[in-house]
Structure 1
Amino acid sequence: MALPVFSFAQTKPYLTLADAERITAAAEVKAKAEGWNVVIVIMDDGGNLISLKRMDGVQVGSIDVAQAKAKTAVFFKRSTKVFEDGMKAEGGGRIATLPNAIAVEGGLPLLKDGIIVGAIGVSGVTSAQDGIIADAGVKGY
């Protein structure tokens, strides 16, 4: 009986380390331009860490928050701002019970050829400012 032949060739779009570095650099440029020090996280489509950059002086707690924002954006295929806005609506407190969901702006999915290949998560300043930086990262992709 012949053994099956396996291929390690990638058949779907994916986020490379070079992609992650380019996205991070674009986000960091925006953060520095505004004078905001943050943590910038890039995750793959499974919610696994590809890169993490912690700018000088950022509180340690932002490391976990940035990762949670990226993971939420990947797992739910949407911006974490959707959850933040949802929390403000009547009955929105139910969002807090969702596993792997953080309802704070600053997490955005990353798409390649219309397919989610990962996410960016930013934490360190206000949620709106985190969102601005994350958006700059996406635009740099």
Structure 2
Amino acid sequence: MSQLTLALAKKMIEAAEKEAAEINVPMVISIVDEGGNFVACHRMDDALLVSVDIAQNKAWTSVAMKMPTEELAKATSDGQELFGINTTNSGRVVIFGGGIPLKENKAIIGAVGVSGGSVKEDIQVAKAAVDGLEKSSQTAADVSN
């Protein structure tokens, strides 16, 4: 894999949507490439409209900061060294969980951002998307061997 394709993004979205349906929370799932460029976005029926921008910005933040957005919450609290970073980049930096960078051999190849539930639920569904990518990558490796 080395490039995050639309086909892989769709598999990730499918895995995330399945998890969101299991917990009965409509979500928005967004996938970006290693440059933070839009690859795909999926809004489940009845997901909050505000979640579209939030999910996209969580994914972008994960690529831009090279870390899960949940880790930013600690570093950006009052008195911490990154306090106020969420006011930069036209307010695009999200400092709560639901964004996770996607890695291959320690290199970031993109990110997923999820919004629509509680932060805990967003993280849970984002992790399901990451698991979907890992399963797709293993399947592709098995086929090529």
Preserved contact between residue 14 and residue 112 of structure 1 (Cα < 8 Å): no
* In structure 1, C-alpha distance between the alignment counterparts of 2:79 and 2:118, rounded to whole Å: 23
For the aligned residue pairs, the C-alpha RMSD in angstroms reads 1.6
TM-score normalized by the length of structure 2: 0.83
Name the count of aligned residue pairs: 130
- SS in structure 2 of the partner of residue 59 of structure 1: coil
Does residue 53 (structure 1) correspond to residue 45 (structure 2)? The answer is: no
Highest CA radius of gyration, 1 or 2?
A: 1
- Contact 1:43-1:119 at 8 Å conserved across structures: yes
Structure 2 unaligned runs (5+)? 134-145
Cα 1:89–1:132 shift into 2, 3 Å: farther
Q: Which of 94, 119, 126 is the matching residue for 2:118?
A: 126
**Letter in structure 1 aligned against 2:53:** D
In the alignment, the residues of structure 2 paired with residue 54 and residue 94 of structure 1 have an alpha-carbon distance, to the nearest angstrom, of: 29
Indicate if the aligned counterparts of 1:47 and 1:74 stay in contact, CA closer than 8 A: yes
Cα distance in structure 1, aligned partners of 2:78 and 2:125: 25
- Could you tell me the percent identity over the aligned residues? 36
Over 4 Å off, 4+ runs: none
Contact 1:83 1:95 in 2 (8 A): no
* Amino acid corresponding to residue 93 of structure 1 in structure 2: F
Aligned-pair CA distance for 1:115: 1.4
Distance 2:114 2:73 in 1: 15
Structure with bigger helix share is 2
What is the TM-score when the length of structure 1 is the normalising length?
0.85
